[in-house]
Chain A
Amino acid sequence: MTLLQLIFLAAAALTLGAAVMVVTTSRLVHAALWLILALAGVAVLFALLDAPFLAIVQVVVYIGAIAILIIFAAMLTRRVMQDSGRQTTRTWWLGLLAALLLFGGLVVLVLQVPGFQAAGGAAPDPQANLIDLGRSLVDVNAFILPFELASVLLLAALIGAMFVARPESRKPPGGKSGTPGGEA
């Protein structure tokens, strides 16, 4: 058991354990914190896969932004006594069955392909990969179109989220005829 395999097993156990806690714990904010642990585990796995840029972007985007957003939403939409009620739907056993069946099917599928059993090749050079990644995102023959589409998508999501979640504008009480110097 080499050092790398040990690290992989530890990170995998951490990620899976945290993921299981996410979907089973009853307190919502705790679930969000377990999600952060799972995301950190995935970041460690990215680093093991010789993709350090993706690992750091995972921490910045998922943990530093999405997870904080989820925690905010969990805290802002709490009701008293909500955490002590039912957390799972009435047909949760169907969900469990579906998940287990899917997992079984995927395991059988993965173990059948012989090409997957091989160990990986030489480790790619991260610095060259970073430059390659940056270049390919703006190369006309490469991925500039998905890059631009992703930025349009992010802009649309930004505007949409701000529009959907803005507070309702309050109308002035009665028929006030003064100068509307109130809310912008």
Chain B
Amino acid sequence: MGWRMIGNPFGWIQQQLMTLLTGWGLSQAWAAAVLSLVGAVILATVLLVSTFFLIWAERKLLARMQDRLGPNRVGPWGVFQTVADLVKLLGKEIVTPAGVDRFIYYLAPLLVVMSVVGIWAVIPLAPGVQGTALDVGVLYVVAVGAIGELGILMAGYSSNNKYALLGAFRAVAQLVSYEVPMVLVLLVPTILAGSMNLEVIVQQQSPMWFVLVAPLACLIFLITSLAENGRAPFDLLEAESELVAGFNTEYSALAFGMFYVAEFLHAFTAGAVIATLFLGGWRGPGAETYPILGFVYFLAKTLVMWFLSLWVRGTVPRIRIDQMLAFNWKVLTPLALAVLTTTALADKLALELGGNRLLTNLGANLVVALVTLAALRAYARAQRSKEESQRIGGLVTAAPVSRHH
């Protein structure tokens, strides 16, 4: 009993609570409903509390990448810095600017946080531990992301501030645009696993993780999740040096804190989704027999992907909104379509003709990647030679040289 309890703490806890509740006289259905509620509350609380650690780790790591120390005063290695920030935010006065639409103004940060925490309902944390086994889990992730966009729009509109409104428009334009390649690429693990249920997708990654079968899809999904989150290089949404503070200009104290928490938690959540879809979730040696090991593997993979997005944030500069949208519509969406169609073709051919699925898919991905690189190289050469000829031509034209790519 001892090893089993340590090996599978979730199942053990669930059993104990179930017997307790049915012992109190609740019917089976009501007991299950109460357990689901308790599980949801625990999950949400653990997530929101873990942002303390995440924000501190992010600031420390980012500082080291930028050759400085980061918070190191409050507690050993500055661990309690986030707590200090939270206490400061709690103590600040919540200023409600004049003329705001009060109900929407206070609802918006709730919606944004809700959309991030809601994604965790379908992520399998360990074998058999999933908030709810939705058959359309992948589409649910997209749907919940759409609710977050709504929150941002409401935040910008209700602030009674035209710069906040402009920031909200740009933010929603970016988020809606990058949803398109994200949805297309999310279909790739669906095709490979044959189901939209995230638990089934994790179980189907048994011989090989999907990142090895469809590396291009993983790369595109990584880029689009960076853009959906609003992290560099796509952090034009609330670029600290432009547009005042974007859609959350008029928010102060705890309301602003909720946007902040939502952004950091979203980075962690995106890492969790990538780990589930492409890196095999809780899969690892010994995960089926000891589910707690599965949870440890899942956590490790999520932290690795989160660190990757942090690394990108500390390295690349921000890109402009028109560059961002051009990149999305001219490069990412056609690439996502190409990846989807070639994966569907290659996988079906491999299944019907009995070839090796892994090699066929990998080969198809390689072909698409080479074609894309060749196309990008040809385009870059054409641009460079055009600019060269315009410079060498020496004419000082009256109209400025068009920078529209």
Contact = CB atoms under 8 A, between A and B. Distances in A.
Interface in A127-184: 127, 130, 176, 178-182, 184
Nearest to A3: B29
B172 A68 contact: yes
A59 interface: yes
Contacts of B104: 33
A29 B157 contact: yes
A72 B134 CA distance: 32
Secondary structure of the A side of the interface?
helix
Interface string B27-67: 00110010000000000000000000000000000000000
B286 interface: no
Contacts of A65: 146, 176
Given A176-B398, A182-B399, A64 B136 contact: no
Given A63-B146, A72-B169, A178-B397, A184 B139 contact: no
B143 A64 contact: yes
A59 B401 CA distance: 44
B143 A179 contact: no
B157 A181 contact: no
Contact of A67 (B140, B145, B150, B400): B150
B135 A71 contact: no
A7 to B, nearest CB: 11
Contacts of A63: 143, 146-147, 150
A1 to B, nearest CB: 14
A59 B104 CA distance: 20
Q: Which 5 A-B pairs have the closest CB atoms?
A: A64-B146, A178-B398, A59-B143, A181-B399, A56-B139
A179 B399 CA distance: 6
A179 B395 CA distance: 11
B27 to A, nearest CB: 10
B135 A75 contact: no
17 contacts: A3-B30, A29-B157, A52-B134, A52-B135, A57-B139, A59-B143, A59-B146, A60-B139, A60-B143, A67-B150, A68-B150, A72-B172, A75-B157, A180-B399, A181-B399, A181-B401, A182-B400
Interface string A94-135: 000000000000000000000000000000001100100000
A184 B404 contact: yes
Q: Is the interface of B mostly helix, strand, loop or mixed?
A: helix
Interface in A39-94: 52-53, 56-57, 59-60, 63-65, 67-68, 71-72, 75
B402 interface: yes
B165 interface: yes
A60 B146 contact: yes
A84 to B, nearest CB: 15
A64 B147 contact: yes
**Chain B residues touching A, range:** 35 or more
Contacts of B404: 184
A18 interface: no
B265 to A, nearest CB: 20
Nearest to A184: B404
A36 interface: yes
Contacts of A178: 397-399
A95 to B, nearest CB: 28
A36 to B, nearest CB: 7
Given A59-B147, A178-B397, 19 more contacts: A52-B136, A60-B139, A64-B142, A64-B146, A65-B146, A65-B176, A68-B153, A68-B172, A68-B176, A72-B169, A127-B135, A127-B197, A176-B398, A179-B397, A181-B397, A181-B400, A181-B401, A181-B402, A182-B400
Nearest to A27: B101
B147 A130 contact: no
A33 B150 CA distance: 10
A68 B139 CA distance: 18
